[in-house]
Structure formats: structure tokens, C-alpha cells
Amino acid sequence: MVAREPSETRILSVASEHLRLHGLRRFTVVAVAEEAGMTHANVYRYFPSRVALVDAVVDVWLKATERRLADIADGPDPAEDKLERLILALAKANRDLLHEDPHLFAALSQAVAKRHAISRRNRARVRALFERVIDDGIATGAFEPRDRDRAIAFVIDATHRFIHPAALELEADVPQESVDARLSTLIRVALRTLATGVI
Amino acid sequence: MVAREPSETRILSVASEHLRLHGLRRFTVVAVAEEAGMTHANVYRYFPSRVALVDAVVDVWLKATERRLADIADGPDPAEDKLERLILALAKANRDLLHEDPHLFAALSQAVAKRHAISRRNRARVRALFERVIDDGIATGAFEPRDRDRAIAFVIDATHRFIHPAALELEADVPQESVDARLSTLIRVALRTLATGVI
DNA sequence: AAAATGACATAATTTGTAAAATGTCATTGC
DNA sequence: GCAATGACATTTTACAAATTATGTCATTTT
């Protein structure tokens, strides 16, 4: 158990593992520090608080997800395709997290519910991606909403159920295929709505 | 403090008052019984458990709300109008409860989250109202969805953010006018979608 | 000088126990 | 016979003490 990584990275990866395995409740700075081969005081050199450490772990996931979304948003494809893939990718990322790493999902869920800075910023950046794609669609004539801001709010509100952690938890036990079908319908309506200037 | 009401009714109204004033945490069968002028054992003659008593209180509100919704759904107006009013009334009922009786809202929220029978049944009945109005619209030609079931799921999914307690809590501090505007947009899109057979 | 520590004050959690609440039922009173 | 009770077992909650964790900082180590 030799620490080759620099301390900050090592703490973060141990914290990540610890959170995934034991969950928020049993996540302690002391335990993480011990597993990282240092005293807990040293952890505070790199992370200002326990909450900040947990948020840093969540943020790694958020940023990785954002990167994948940005790749979609910045791609060369038509805005319609990009918007559909953006929504599907975001919904899938959150839904997969719920099933594959429930503890990390719970930490994310809390950060969102308590409006932590990482979640507010993530939300702003993801929203910016939606705006970018919709603006792209408007520029190319694929979308023709009467009111651009209203159109953006519409897309976000309509898809809320399939994207927001609190909403996803409610449907954890609904068969994925059924959820997929409903989301697919919603996306079709959203795209059609943006294209035909109903808003 | 003479009990004119029959016991069951009296227990229920005392319980209702107690929940509204003190909240779920401090709601005890013993306290309710005392305030109703009887021993707690007697409460169990009418309600099988503490949870059942709380649920009964919530159910009174749910049923009253359902009645108002049913009045809309069964009215003589065009299906489009009725669907719009149905959504607005349901959203407003839940949102008003959140602000005017937070304790009762919290109890409702829990019943929904834990899938209590009262909430599942309420959900089924409210859904039936939506189905009725949409079927009405299909019968009169106002709505022409390709797939009726898909259309119903779409309306419920799209409006989720403005109706579900868990979603409403997230936006408790957003100005009502802003929420109203967004909901209004969503309803317009939903009506247009149903009318034009996109689904 | 940067990294890490030990020692410390404060805050949160756990543990054990007393008190109170939930839920049951045989009996009482109307 | 129906409503209500008192007595009781079981489950929760409330409280206090002890333990553990969080967060700070002067000092040591590399």
C-alpha cells in the first residue's frame, strides 16, 4: 500500500472508494485519512471540510458527465439530433448512477437538494449546454421558437421527470424500457414543438 | 369541551388540527386521544394504527381535492378547457398546500414517497380523471392522438414538475408568477400536441 | 518551504437507560 | 351489543454520558 499518487489525488480516490462502498453515513475523514496512510489533519490541508471532500467526489462524476454532454453539444450534427442525444445522455447518466452506485447517487441527490455550490454550478453549465444547442438550432433554422428563453425553460421543465435525481428515485423500480418509451415520446414532442414555433 | 360529534369524526378532526399545528414528529395518538377526551386505546377502535390515522387526515384533503377535480372533469366544457383547468387546479392545490399547511404537505409527501395505499389510490383516481377528459376530447374530435395511452402518459410526465410534491418542494422559493408562466407554456404545448396528433 | 503530524477544542454520534408512545385485550359501563 | 377503559407487553423516543469525529494550529519532519 505505497502512495505513489500525490496526496490530494490519493485522498480523493480513497474518498471515492470509501463513499461508494460504505455510503455517506459511514464516510468519515478519519477513516479516509487512515486508508490513505496519513493523519486526518493532513486531509484538511487539501479539503476544507468533510462536506467539501464529499462534494469533490461528486464533482468528479459531475464533471466527467458534463464532458460527455459537451462532446454531444459541440458536435457537428444537426441541433435536433444533438438535443435528443443530450437529453438521453443526461437521463441515462443519472439513471445508471442510481442503479450502479447508489451511495454516490445519494450524495449527489443531497448536494442537489441542499443546493451545494457544485450542484448549482453543474446545473448552470448543463443548462448552458441546452441553451447552446437550442441557439444552434435557431441559428440553422431547425428550431423556430417565438420566445427563445421560454423554449429553453419548456425543454428543461418537460424533461425534469427523467433527469432530476429526486424524480428518478421515484421510478427506480419501473422497467427501464417503459421509462425509455415515455422519454422518447417526450423528446419527440419537444423537438416538434421547437421546430414548429408553438412556443 | 363536550363531544357532540361521533367519536370517529371527532378523532379525525382533532388529529387534523394536531397535525396542522404540531407536525408529524410531534403527532401522537396519546395526545390526540386526550384532546378528544378519551383514552388512546379507544382511538384504536377506529383507526388501526398511528400511520393509518395520519393517512386518514391526509385522505380527507386528497378526497376534497379530488372532488374539485372531478367537478372540472365532469363539466360540460370542451375537453381542451377541462384539461387545462384540471392541470392548473391540481398544481395549485398542491402548491397552496405546501405554503399554507406545510405540516399536512409533509405528511402527504411522505405518504406519496412511501407509496401508502391512500396515495396510490388517489394517484389512480386522478389519473382516471385525466384519462376521462382526454377520452372525452378524443370522442369530440378535439384531440387526435395516434396512441391514446401514450398521450396520457405524456401529459402526466410533462406536467410532473408542477404537480408532484417532491418536485414542488424543490421550487418552493421560486416566485409563483414565474412558475405559473412556465406551467402555462407547458399546458399550451400539451394541448397543441394532443390536438395535432404528434403522438 | 511544503508536507505532515500531535495535541487540542468543539461538534456529532453512539450507547445505555429511563420515560413515553404504540398497540392488544380482557373487562367494565351504558 | 357497542363504546370505552385500565392494565399490560412491546416499540420508540428522549436524555445523559461516553466515545468518536470534525476542524484548528503550533510544531516537527523531509
Quote the pLDDT of residue B1. 37
Tell how many helices (H) and how many strands (E) occur in chain A.
10, 0
pLDDT digits (tens, 9 = 90+) for B57-77: 999 999 999 999 999 999 999
The percent of residues above 70 in pLDDT, for chain A, comes to 97
Q: Is A159 exposed, middle or buried (0-12, 13-18, 19+ CB in 10 A)?
A: buried
Instruction: Say which residues have a Cβ less than 8 Å from residue B183's Cβ, sequence separation at least 6.
Output: B87, B88, B91, B159, B162
Q: Average pLDDT, stretch B95-110?
A: 96
Check pLDDT > 80 for residue A5.
no
Mean pLDDT of chain B: 94
Counting one residue from chain A and one from chain B, the pairs whose CB atoms sit within 8 A come to 73
pLDDT digits (tens, 9 = 90+) for A96-141: 999 999 999 999 999 999 999 999 999 999 999 999 999 999 999 9
Range A57-196: architecture per CATH: Orthogonal Bundle (1.10)
Examine domains A7-46 and A57-196 and report if their fold is the same.
no
Mean pLDDT of chain A: 94
Tell me the CA distances in angstroms from A77 to A17, A108, A148, A194, one per residue in order. Answer: 37, 31, 21, 17
| Contacting residues of A for B170, CB less than 8 Å apart | 113, 164, 166
Coil/strand/helix, residue B115: coil
Q: Which residue in chain A is spatially nearest to B169 when comparing CA positions?
A: A113
Q: Which residue in chain B is spatially nearest to A186 when comparing CA positions?
A: B154
* CB of B44 within 7 Å of some strand C atom: yes
Q: Does B162 touch chain A (CB under 8 A)?
A: yes
Q: Do B185 and A160 touch (CB under 8 A)?
A: no
Rounded Cα–Cα distance for residues B196 and B199 (Å): 8
Q: Average pLDDT, stretch B167-195?
A: 95
Rounded Cα–Cα distance for residues A152 and A112 (Å): 20
Place B4 in a pLDDT band, splitting at 50, 70 and 90.
very low
Quote the pLDDT of residue A198. 83
Check pLDDT > 50 for residue B140.
yes
Quote the pLDDT of residue A116. 96
pLDDT digits (tens, 9 = 90+) for A46-63: 999 999 999 999 999 999
- Could you say which nucleotides of strand C lie within 7 A of any protein CB atom? 3-7, 14, 20-26
CB atoms within 10 A of CB B155: 25
Q: Tell me, in Å, how far CA of B34 is from C1' of C21?
A: 13
Q: Top-level CATH class of B50-196?
A: mainly alpha
Quote the pLDDT of residue B6. 87
Q: Average pLDDT, stretch B147-165?
A: 97
pLDDT digits (tens, 9 = 90+) for B26-42: 999 999 999 999 999 99
Q: Tell me, in Å, how far CA of B21 is from C1' of D11?
A: 25
Quote the pLDDT of residue B101. 96
* CB of A48 within 7 Å of some strand D atom: yes
Q: Average pLDDT, stretch A21-46?
A: 94
Among B160, B189, B193, beta carbon nearest to A167 = B160
The residue ranges of every structural domain in chain A are 7-46, 57-196
**Which cell numbers hold the place of B118?**
391512500
Quote the pLDDT of residue B162. 98
Tell me the CA distances in angstroms from B172 to A156, A161, A165, B165, B169, one per residue in order. Answer: 17, 17, 17, 10, 5
Q: Top-level CATH class of A7-46?
A: mainly alpha
Q: Average pLDDT, stretch B168-174?
A: 94
Please tell me the distance in Å from B102's CA to the nearest CA on chain A. 18
Please tell me the distance in Å from A177's CA to the nearest CA on chain B. 14
Lowest mean pLDDT of B1-15, B95-109, B126-140, name the range. Answer: B1-15
Q: CA nearest B145: which of A188, A40, A145?
A: A188
Q: CA nearest B99: which of B197, B169, B177, B199?
A: B169
Q: CA nearest A36: which of A5, A82, A64, A80?
A: A5
The residue with cell 423500480 is A173
Q: Average pLDDT, stretch B125-136?
A: 97
Quote the pLDDT of residue B150. 96
Place A185 in a pLDDT band, splitting at 50, 70 and 90.
very high
pLDDT digits (tens, 9 = 90+) for A137-180: 999 999 999 999 999 999 999 999 999 999 999 999 999 999 99
Give the largest Cα separation in chain B, rounded. Answer: 62
pLDDT digits (tens, 9 = 90+) for B183-194: 999 999 999 999
Q: Does B38 touch chain A (CB under 8 A)?
A: no
Phi, psi of A144 (to 5 degrees): -135, 60
Q: Tell me, in Å, how far CA of A159 is from C1' of C23?
A: 45
Which nucleotide is closest to A53, CA to C1'? D22
Quote the pLDDT of residue A1. 37
Please tell me the distance in Å from B95's CA to the nearest CA on chain A. 16
